[in-house]
Amino acid sequence: MSAGIELWPPQASHHAEQVDLLIGSFGAMVWLLTLPVFVLMTWFTIRYRRSHQVNRQHAPTHNLWVELGWSVIPFLLTLGFYVWATMLFFDIHRPPPDAMTIHVVAKQWMWKYQHPEGAREINDLHVPAGEPVELVMTSEDVIHSFFVPGLRIKQDLVPGRYTSLWFNASRPGRYALRCAEFCGTDHSVMGGNLIVLQPQDYAAWLSRSADGGLDGTLAETGATLFRQMGCSGCHAAASPVRAPALGGIFGRPVALSDGRTVIADEQYLSDAILLPNKEIAAGYPSIMPTYGNVLTAEQVNALVAYLKSTHAAQDSK
């Protein structure tokens, strides 16, 4: 890696090419709209300077078509850019359904990643080339921002909230990533590399990292936590405590005590664990303890992954 400042980072995905095209075209439009103003201004100041003898009679005061032209054309051009940029923006927030999910937890001052198969890593993130990868991200302390210049993607990580984006890195290689939100003393060293590998190299990397055999998949870690943390004491079918059955809850509508119905997505489940009094399942006592100070963001991710992996008891009949 060169130590100098990279003026134009490499393009590591199709999205990066599209962003560059947008920025390049926008730059061209800015020149197109500004250059005539300055050229004419310079020309007029020279031609109509006081000492110069020119015909100053019958100067035109207005011209409807010219005025309409310089209002309507820039308006339509900039509106076009608004639509184009918005489409790109929505695109990076709508992952394809087959994207693999990697969980990212930021904290002062490091990035922690967890792959669906269980492999964990810090600061450097390995991903396969040519496959859609969704990052589901949260922060353990303050707001951080995940920025990979080579992919032209950047997204804030907010404590207590999940944010996400996705990418499809096309070229194997090593691309710098960094935190783009001032987050305290060591903000400037909060970075790492996105390491894009050929799919077979990624598979090899995954099995090597799993060699330690410590952590199963994220969902398996969650299943263990579900017992260790006493969740099953209330939520298991055989439990004497009246608590909702959680099998297959992910993606289902849940009736709340205030009459609303919400879909149990990742945010709902994580809130149910961290802030149980925020939304209470209809018909149940609000006796669930708060796990806000007990569980780390990674443990909550694991519990949510476990809940996602379960199926309702009725489904198996």
CB of 149 to Cu ion, least distance (A): 16
CB of 207 to ligand HEC, least distance (A): 30
Give the pairing of strands 125-128 and 144-148. Answer: unpaired
CB of 188 to Cu ion, least distance (A): 10
Q: Residue 137 or residue 303: which is nearer to Cu ion going by CB? A: 137
Rounded CA-CA distance 289/23 in Å is 50
Q: Are 73 and 80 in contact (CB under 8 A)?
A: no
Closest Cα partner for 102 from 89, 111, 91?
111
- The residue whose two tokens read 């909702």 is 244
Closest Cα partner for 291 from 274, 306, 305?
274
Q: Residue 48 or residue 284: which is nearer to ligand HEC going by CB? A: 284
Rounded CA-CA distance 35/52 in Å is 25
Rounded CA-CA distance 121/195 in Å is 12
Query: What is the SS3 assignment for 138?
Result: strand
Interface residues for Cu ion in 125-144 (CB under 5 A)? 144
126 - beta bridge partners? 195
DSSP string across 172-227? -EEEEEEE-S--STTGGG-EEEEEEE-HHHHHHHHHHHGGG-----HHHHHHHHHH
Q: Which stretch binds Cu ion (CB under 5 A): 28-36, 83-91, 171-179, 223-231?
A: 171-179
Q: Which stretch binds ligand HEC (CB under 6 A): 83-91, 141-149, 196-204, 271-279?
A: 271-279
Q: Which stretch binds ligand HEC (CB under 6 A): 76-84, 106-114, 164-172, 266-274?
A: 266-274
Rounded CA-CA distance 80/268 in Å is 37
Which listed residue (22, 176, 243, 274) binds ligand HEC by CB under 6 A? 243
- The residue whose two tokens read 């260790």 is 228
Verify binding: residue 292, ligand HEC, rule CB under 6 A. no
Verify binding: residue 190, Cu ion, rule CB under 5 A. yes
Residue 223 interface partner, choices ligand HEC, Cu ion, none, CB cut-off 5-8 Å depending on type: none
Query: What is the SS3 assignment for 96?
Result: coil
Tell me which H or E stretch contains 26: helix 14-47
Q: Residue 104 or residue 129: which is nearer to Cu ion going by CB? A: 104
Question: How many C-beta atoms lie closer than 10 Å to residue 308's C-beta?
Answer: 19
Q: Which stretch binds ligand HEC (CB under 6 A): 64-72, 122-130, 150-158, 267-275?
A: 267-275
CB of 184 to Cu ion, least distance (A): 7
Residue 24 interface partner, choices ligand HEC, Cu ion, none, CB cut-off 5-8 Å depending on type: none
Contacts of 61 (CB under 8 A, 6+ apart): none
String of contacts with ligand HEC for each residue 200-229, x by CB under 6 A: -----------------------------x
Q: Residue 72 or residue 189: which is nearer to Cu ion going by CB? A: 189
Q: Which stretch binds ligand HEC (CB under 6 A): 109-117, 122-130, 154-162, 270-278?
A: 270-278
Residue 190 interface partner, choices Cu ion, ligand HEC, none, CB cut-off 5-8 Å depending on type: Cu ion
Footprint on this chain of Cu ion (rule: CB under 5 A)? 144, 179, 183, 190
Footprint on this chain of ligand HEC (rule: CB under 6 A)? 229-231, 233-235, 241, 243-244, 246, 249, 254, 269, 272-273, 276, 280-281, 284-289, 291, 303
